[in-house]
Every structure is written in C-alpha cells, then in structure tokens.
Amino acid sequence: AAESHVDRSIYKADAFVRTGVIGVQVLLDISRKAGVPRFIQISTDEVYGSIREGVFTEESPLNPSSPYSASKAAGDLLALSYHKTFGTPVIITRSSNNYGPFQYPEKLIPLFITNCFEGRTLPLYGDGTNVREWIHVLDNCRAIELVLEKGVPGEVYNISSGKELSNSEIARVIVRTIKVQESFITPVTDRLGHDFRYAMDCAKIAGLGFSPRIDLEKGLEETIRWYREHPEWWKPLK
C-alpha cells in the first residue's frame, strides 16, 4: 500500500511519491483494464492532519503534514478521480495506528518493546504528549474485509478502535508490562512536522457492522509476548 514510515519520508520523499502516487496510478490503470470488481485503497488517518479537539469524519478536508501523509492523500484523490471519471469501483479505508505481530521494529510499539528486551533506551519524541488512536492489526484486517464485501464504491471509511493514548502513556504501559524501569524512557528531539493528535469518527463503518474485538491492554500484552518469543524475526531487522 505504501512506504510506511513517516520519519523516512522526511529525509527521502521520492520513494513515497513513487509508491503512494505513481504506484496507485499504475494499479488503477491495470485494474480498470482488467475489470476488477473492487479496488481498495488502504489509506491513513494522517491524511487529515492534526486535530486538538473533536474527531475527523470522512468528509473532513485533507491537510497532510508529512511527505508520507501527502503521498497517501494524493493516492486517495487519484483513486477517487478514477471512480468519478471511469467508474472504477474504488473504496478507501483510512486506518488509525496499527500494532501487533510482525510489525517492522522501526515503528513505535515494536521499537519500544524490542529496545526493552535489548536493554536500550526508548526514544520518545518531544514531551511525549502526542496522541494517537490504536487498533490491533487483526481488527483492521477484519474491517478491511468488511469494506471489501459490503462497502459502497466511491466511499471512504474511517477505521479505528476509538482508544486514544499519548506516546508517553504507551511507553509506560510497555515498560510496566516488561518490568523495566521508567528511566529507560528518554526524551529526544521532536520529529519535524509532528502532528499532535489524530482522532476519527467511525460511525460509518460501524453501520456496516464493524466493532473492534481486541482490547488495547490485552492486545499489547499479546504483542509483547510475540516479540519476546520471536527474536529470530526482529533481531536481523534491527
């Protein structure tokens, strides 16, 4: 779906444009010629930008802050243009932050988990008050499958659990669960263009019958256990 790490997009944006924009165009053209019955564009809550209070709906304006989110927003608009121009059966999902097994260890949760196992510090951007909604990857997959089956072409569906935590709260949950000292959490220089908060209204996909099944606390415990039991997967990546 995309090059997926915001940090890398800040320092080298070209791969994100090639994949998130040109890649979408290539797939749309091929899908249109092949007559595929559904084209699901996997997007992100980051296309809306930051919101201090309230929530974004699917009708909220796009206001991306990073080259990553800008490339995703461009891909979304391109996909919708194919629906309007050619009738391509495009549906867009915009998911909040995912977590769970097999997530690349550059991402916040697996980075913090594996750093704890290795006795390394947990680099926390700024003051750690940035807020994200978190959804387990299996819940996100269930939502995407539901949209694939029941979604309306030309529509956008927000996907989230509605569970908000600051980055510092996530870090504290991880160190408490793994039983290391909170002094492992180390503030570092904030990321450029770092959005403060994401939050989405998910009533639309709830109307299709979706509700998340995996509680965040239980999901984090299971995720920590998975990384503990599979160092052969993540150690070579780090």
Strand pairing class (39-44; 90-95): parallel
Annotated catalytic residue 46 = yes
Q: Which of the residues 7, 11, 14, 46 is marked catalytic?
A: 46
Q: Tally DSSP H helices, then E strands, for the chain.
A: 10, 8
105 and 111 in contact (C-beta within 8 Å)?
A: yes
Q: Which of the residues 3, 48, 68, 133 is marked catalytic?
A: 68
Annotated catalytic residue 68 = yes
Annotated catalytic residue 29 = no
Least Cα distance to 44 among 18, 25, 9, 20 occurs for 20
Q: Which of the residues 45, 76, 133, 139 is marked catalytic?
A: 45
DSSP annotation of 190:
P
Query: Beta strands of 59-216 (E only): which ranges?
Result: 90-95, 97-99, 122-125, 131-136, 156-159, 164-166, 185-188
Q: Tokens 């980051």 sit at which residue?
A: 46
Torsion of CA 7, 13, 18, 20, to 10 degrees: 40
Q: Which amino acid is at 164?
A: E
Burial class (CB in 10 A: 0-12, 13-18, 19+), 53: exposed
What positions carry a catalytic annotation?
Answer: 45-46, 68
